[in-house]
Amino acid sequence: MNKFKGCKNILKFFVFLLSVFLVFGCFTQVANAAPVISLYPSSGFSTIMVSGTGFSPSSTITIYWDGNSTPNIPTPLITNFLGDFTAIINVPNQTKPGFYNITAIDSLGGQASFLFTVVNMTGPEGPKGDTGPQGPEGTSGEKGDTGEQGIAGEKGEKGDQGEQGPAGQMGILEEVIVAIAFIFSALSLLLIYFHTRKKKPF
């Protein structure tokens, strides 16, 4: 009976040692494993599920989108006793197609990254529509302030004097005056002539 009891105690001791080695081996594997993250999906334009393994157990995780921290669900994000986590984030650059780096960092500095592709969801340009009716005339805006007076321009060079034009034709009034003067002159000469004739003897 005592021999059987001793074998039973030895068996319990070996089971205990085996359990210790298994637990120690698991923690050693977790401590030595390099952190890794995966994305689902790895391309798109909306929600992303981020899964991580190999991080520090019971550690706070911060997720970065191209170097900037991004909100995640759940908050706070803490790894389990194996250093694993799962979180959900939203794409902050939905309208900017391209490649973006997603990085997860734990509180002890362990980190892992994965590249995400934001796809272009813009469709082809449609045909040009018909011109719409003219809208109502808008109200007149307020009159703006008077601007400053501009700088005076440079004075141009004086041009050459033109040639003298031909004499203009005499007007009707001038012709009448000249004719009257001519008639008076003729009459004066006749008066002088006859006056001198009266003084001569026959």
Residue with the bigger pLDDT between 181 and 60: it is: 60
Mean per-residue pLDDT of the chain: 80
Q: Residue 67 maps to which CATH number? A: 2.60.40.10
Domain annotation covers residue 57 = yes
The pTM of the whole model exceeds 0.75: no
Same domain, 27 and 76: no
pLDDT at site 115 = 97
Range from 18-22, 100-104, 115-119 carrying the lowest mean pLDDT = 18-22
pLDDT tens-digit readout, 109-133: 999 999 999 999 876 777 887 888 8
Same domain, 28 and 39: no
Same domain, 25 and 80: no
Residue with the bigger pLDDT between 159 and 72: it is: 72
What's the structural domain count of the chain? 2
Quote the percentage of the chain above a pLDDT of 70. 72
E strand spans, 10-121: 36-40, 43-44, 47-53, 60-65, 68-69, 77-78, 85-90, 98-106, 111-118
User: Any alpha helices (H) in the chain, and if so which ranges?
Assistant: 2-32, 172-198
In terms of Cβ atoms closer than 10 Å to its own Cβ (0-12, 13-18, 19+), residue 167 is: exposed
- The boundaries of the domain holding residue 24 are 1-32
Q: How confident is the model at residue 67 (pLDDT cuts 50, 70, 90)?
A: very high
